[in-house]
Structure 1
Amino acid sequence: MILPDGDFDVPAGKIATVVTHLEMTELPAIPSDPEGAWTLRRVETPALDWYRELFRRVGEEWLWISRARMGDAKLAAIIHSPLVEVYALEHEGRDEGLLELDFREAGQCEITFFGVTTKLFGSGAGRWLMNRALELSWSRPIARLWLHTCTHDHPGAVAFYLRSGFRAFRRQIEIEDDPRIDGTAPRDAASHVPVIE
């Protein structure tokens, strides 16, 4: 469907975001690691409560809601798949970052979720985690690595992914129920996206 140019009303109680899909088809030069005390731990068969808590702490400010709304059986089927790898970035004995790699489609990997908690913003932990994501993804026989981000995400996300070697290839508009109205997210989450009821 081709949309005409113009402005379109988003109904009250909904949120709209522009989603940008990015990809790379070969391993780029990986930048030098920033200095920092981080480690990466693969979490085999993650406990759902642990996963949701880390997902919330990393993504709540950016309205990551897909997994928060997902039932236990569906979530377990994804994160317990042998072709999905879940990693925690550890800092000072606490999980402060999430990396999820999905190899379920042959020949490619999707970075499904990637981020660090606000505690680590500006520390270099995001760059360090992306370097690990690139190494882990391309250690498999893939021809494509991809991810998506949106305008609710950190304002520097697209530029960060472009600097990491990705290129944008698709844009979408996504409209869904505002999670702060139905209680999926706290009312004060994502202050950069006003609630309209």
Structure 2
Amino acid sequence: MTNIPVTTWSLEQTSPTDLLPAAAPEGDVRIIRSEVPSPEFSRFLYASVGGDILWIDRLSWTYPRWQEHLERPGVETWVAYDRGTPAGYVELSPQDDGVVEIEYFGLIPAFRGRRIGGHLLAYGAARAWDLADRWPGLPPTKRVWLHTCSKDGEHAMDNYQRRGFKLFDTKVEEETQVTTPGPWPAAYPA
């Protein structure tokens, strides 16, 4: 196995006023919260969005592990649909002291480059800021953060910064290079 250097950038917003809007994409694009915890649907989104950019950390999760994660109070999945077809998602995960992580965000490859990503990210960040309004018992959000890495799409960092996220940490680590997992074998060209 070959090791490759991977740079991870962590970005944050520390006030709802940091959030910068994005123009709505053309066409029938809707963002809807997936309110019923569904390991099957969440795994589909994870594998379909992350297959070509090497998301692998959740591929080994069991059904009960997915269910446990999705049933945590405050974990939310917001899905962008283009004419009724899932196009991408944002997953929010509350942490201690009013911190909310945008744990996963991205688009299925066929929907990239159509201005859906900026719209979905802005919408997801706004839902992170008002998360406590939907979850009694959670403290008001004081900070929203996320991370991206050098394996993500070429426009990821620009999108985050255009939505008002500010860089607060950078790390470079060696990772074992893996073959593209994809949502199914040979889903993407090598």
TM-score, length basis structure 2 = 0.83
How many residue pairs get aligned? The number is 180
Alignment-mate amino acid for residue 30 of structure 1: P
Bigger mean CA deviation after superposition, 82-91 or 179-188: 179-188
What residue is the counterpart of 1:20 in the other structure? 9
One-letter code aligned to 1:22: L
Structure 1 residue runs of 5 or longer lacking an equivalent are: 1-11, 192-197
Report the alpha carbon displacement of residue 60 of structure 1 after superposing the two structures with TM.
Answer: 0.6
| CA distances 1:82-118 after superposition (whole Å, capped 9, x unpaired) | 2200121111221111110111323111000111112
One-letter amino acid of the structure 2 residue matched with residue 26 of structure 1: S
Distance 1:135 1:178, change over 3 A: same
User: 1:167 Cα deviation (Å)?
Assistant: 0.9
Q: Tell me the percent identity.
A: 29
> Structure 2: how far apart are the matches of 1:64 and 1:181?
9
Q: Is the 8 A contact 1:68 1:184 kept in 2?
A: no
1:106 aligns to what SS in structure 2?
Answer: helix
**Shift in Å, 1:25:** 0.5
In 2, Cα distance between the equivalents of 1:78 and 1:20?
Answer: 24
Indicate conservation of the 8 Å contact 1:99/1:114, yes or no: yes
What do residues 25-60 of structure 1 show as CA deviations (whole Å, max 9, x unaligned)? 112342343333111121123321221112111111
Indicate which of 62, 65, 78 corresponds to 1:71: 62
- TM-score between the two structures when normalised by the length of structure 1: 0.80
Out of 28, 35, 39, which is 1:44 matched to? 35
- One-letter amino acid of the counterpart of residue 141, structure 2: I
Q: What letter matches 2:172 in structure 1? A: I
Structure 2 stretches lacking a partner, 5+ long: 132-139
Distance in 1, matches of 2:11 and 2:112, equals 22
In the alignment, which residue of structure 2 is the partner of 1:31? 22
Deviates more, 1:37-46 or 1:180-189: 180-189
Mapping of 1:2-17 within 5 angstroms? 12-17=1-6
Tell me if the contact between 2:20 and 2:162 (Cα under 8 Å) persists in the aligned partners: no
The structure carrying a bigger helix percent of its residues is 2
For 1:38 and 1:95, locate their aligned partners in 2 and report how far apart those are by CA, in whole Å: 10
Q: Which one has the largest radius of gyration?
A: 1
Q: What secondary structure, in the 3-state scheme, does the structure 1 residue paired with 2:97 have?
A: coil
What corresponds to 2:136 in structure 1? Answer: none
Q: How far apart, CA to CA, are the structure 2 residues paired with 1:151 and 1:178?
A: 13
